[in-house]
Structure 1
Amino acid sequence: MTREAFAFTRSFAPTGPDVLVVDRHYLLCASSGALRLEAEGQRWLLPPARAALLRAGCPVTVSIPQPARTASVLFDVDFVPPPPRDLTVLDLDPLARALLAECSGWPESDDPLPPYPRTMFAALAAVAWRLAERPSPVVAPAGRSAEVRAALALTEERLGEQVRLEDVARAVGLVPRSLARRFEGEVGMTWRAVLRRMRVLRAVELLAADDAPVTTVAHRVGYGSLSAFNAAFRELTGSTPSDYRATFGR
């Protein structure tokens, strides 16, 4: 008999993208660095002090652009209910963090869980499942068609430049008006809104990578104005870049 739940920590070098499929429900928490996750037509960023909740048997594409450390908890499918979606990134509250730390002492084993850790794992699942009802905003569209996915990749490559829709459209073989319609039809956002979101998500990765000044991060993601960068960052995350970095706990 395998344990109803178990926990482990692991460090990763940059790698990916790789497809991850597990036979248990998976709570993946970033301790340092940032991971990129893709499922159901969306791309999530997993920065420190956040967690991803993955449903058993559902493929998720994982990329690790910088060294990262994670804490993971795997739940038997008969021990907890299925998560609400294939993949959800959620913000951990203090209770979830305390329960995660408490569960970290019980690794994988053929022995059943004693009553106390079984209760702790069940409580962690209950809290995480509740938090998953309010997903983190650090998500961007992945696109369906080859043209939109290529446009997204090209836009991401040029985040630090003065990238234009006309140049991206030309590179993927479409006129700007057609590409603009594709974006609104496939991802429900304008290309300009996607660019703005991608820049904020890249900024979150940079904030997680080191202690570079916020002004430097703003310039690296294409903002010449710190006030414009702060406004875009607050619009998506609800906080300033400095306050968001402070939640990483390092």
Structure 2
Amino acid sequence: MPDAPLKTLVDPSRRPAAGAIVQDDYDLDCPWHSHDMHQLQYAFDGAIEVEDAHARYLLPRSLAAWIPAGVAHRTSLHRVRSGSILFGRDTVPPTGDRVRIVEVSPLMREMVQGAMRWPLTAPQDATGRAYFAALVRLCAEWIVEETPLSLPTAREPRLQAAMAYTRAHLRDGDIGAACRAAGLSERTLGRRFRHEIGMSWEEYRRRSRLLAAAALLDAGEASIGEVAAAVGFESQSSFARAFRGLTGKSPREFRRR
């Protein structure tokens, strides 16, 4: 992982204990960095990509990322209606050294939306301080319940190439084409996948398909059968079994939540 410089968004002597950043107009692939505050990253529409040293995460509006202070990460935001809430380092009990992904309840969605009223860069009134005090308590509860919707990452460039090909060709890609993208034999690719990320290429593709399916289910425009076909599953029933096996919910339950 490259160097991850610490970003101080607002002078600590002048900023409130918590505040929001509206990111609707952001169109960027942010390089590796870290913050001196905890961050709750959420997309109200569309999807955001977040990556840390452990995994890659796709965040449709049903998922949010909790990024602890000091954790190196990078984010891709491309003109989706979204926002972040930043919390002082001491406002929330220690939450580890990695990104956590949580399912967004209706209460969380409304609370995050309401928090956009108080920018991190502006003085905060008594109502804002009370609002964020309540939000801090709720976040401490929410981040305990993680969702397994993540993809492992690799440091080796050839594995990165195979992974990038796989994610870009979920419906029609095969291991032979992934090997050609990486410049490796099938045997070597399989061995390196298992050694570096602890799963086979087939399992990585299946997990990639399910993450993409979660984003499509969240968008709510396609039927479950259409979602299954779009990400490469041969049948709706096999997709439903795989999705429940990973998330503990059926596709219909996940969409309804």
Same fold (TM over 0.5): yes
Instruction: Note if contact 1:169-1:179 (Cα within 8 Å) is conserved in structure 2.
Output: yes
* Other-structure match for 2:69: 56
Instruction: Note if contact 2:49-2:57 (Cα within 8 Å) is conserved in structure 1.
Output: yes
Question: What one-letter code is carried by the residue in structure 1 that aligns with 2:95?
Answer: P
How many pairs does the alignment contain? Answer: 243
Q: How far apart in 1 are the matches of 2:186 and 2:46?
A: 36
Alignment of 1:228-239 (within 5 A): 228-239=238-249
Deviations 1:3-29 (A, max 9, x none): 11112444257x443225433211112
Deviations 1:75-117 (A, max 9, x none): 1224444432342111234554454355443333553542x54
Instruction: Note if contact 1:4-1:112 (Cα within 8 Å) is conserved in structure 2.
Output: no
2:56 counterpart of 1:43: yes
4+ aligned runs moved over 4 Å, structure 1:
none
* Other-structure match for 2:177: 167
Question: What one-letter code is carried by the residue in structure 2 that aligns with 1:168?
Answer: A
SS at match of 2:58: strand
Residue from 141, 151, 155 that aligns with 1:144? 155
Alignment of 1:3-18 (within 5 A): 3-12=16-25, 15-18=27-30
Residues 21, 204 of structure 1: CA spacing in aligned structure 2 closer, same or farther, 3 A cutoff? same
Instruction: Note if contact 1:32-1:208 (Cα within 8 Å) is conserved in structure 2.
Output: no
Residue from 57, 74, 77 that aligns with 2:86? 74
RMSD of Structure 2 on Structure 1 (CA): 2.5
* Other-structure match for 1:125: 136
Instruction: Note if contact 1:30-1:68 (Cα within 8 Å) is conserved in structure 2.
Output: yes
Question: What one-letter code is carried by the residue in structure 2 that aligns with 1:225?
Answer: S
Q: How far apart in 1 are the matches of 2:237 and 2:25?
A: 35
Q: How far apart in 1 are the matches of 2:63 and 2:227?
A: 21
Greater relative contact order: 1 or 2 (C-alpha under 8 angstroms, separation 6 or more)?
Answer: 1
* Other-structure match for 1:27: 40
SS at match of 1:53: strand
Question: What one-letter code is carried by the residue in structure 1 that aligns with 2:164?
Answer: A
Question: What one-letter code is carried by the residue in structure 1 that aligns with 2:156?
Answer: S
Q: How far apart in 2 are the matches of 1:191 and 1:3?
A: 46
Residue from 159, 168, 174 that aligns with 1:157? 168
Question: What one-letter code is carried by the residue in structure 2 that aligns with 1:244?
Answer: F
Instruction: Note if contact 2:17-2:88 (Cα within 8 Å) is conserved in structure 1.
Output: yes
Note the C-alpha offset of 1:178.
1.4
Note the C-alpha offset of 1:149.
0.9
* TM-score, normalised via structure 1 length: 0.84
Q: How far apart in 1 are the matches of 2:80 and 2:240?
A: 26
Instruction: Note if contact 2:53-2:72 (Cα within 8 Å) is conserved in structure 1.
Output: no
Instruction: Note if contact 1:3-1:113 (Cα within 8 Å) is conserved in structure 2.
Output: no
Q: How far apart in 2 are the matches of 1:230 and 1:8?
A: 37
Question: What one-letter code is carried by the residue in structure 2 that aligns with 1:39?
Answer: D
Instruction: Note if contact 1:170-1:176 (Cα within 8 Å) is conserved in structure 2.
Output: no
Residues 164, 121 of structure 1: CA spacing in aligned structure 2 closer, same or farther, 3 A cutoff? same
2:186 counterpart of 1:176: yes
Question: What one-letter code is carried by the residue in structure 1 that aligns with 2:224?
Answer: V
2:105 counterpart of 1:90: no
SS at match of 2:151: strand
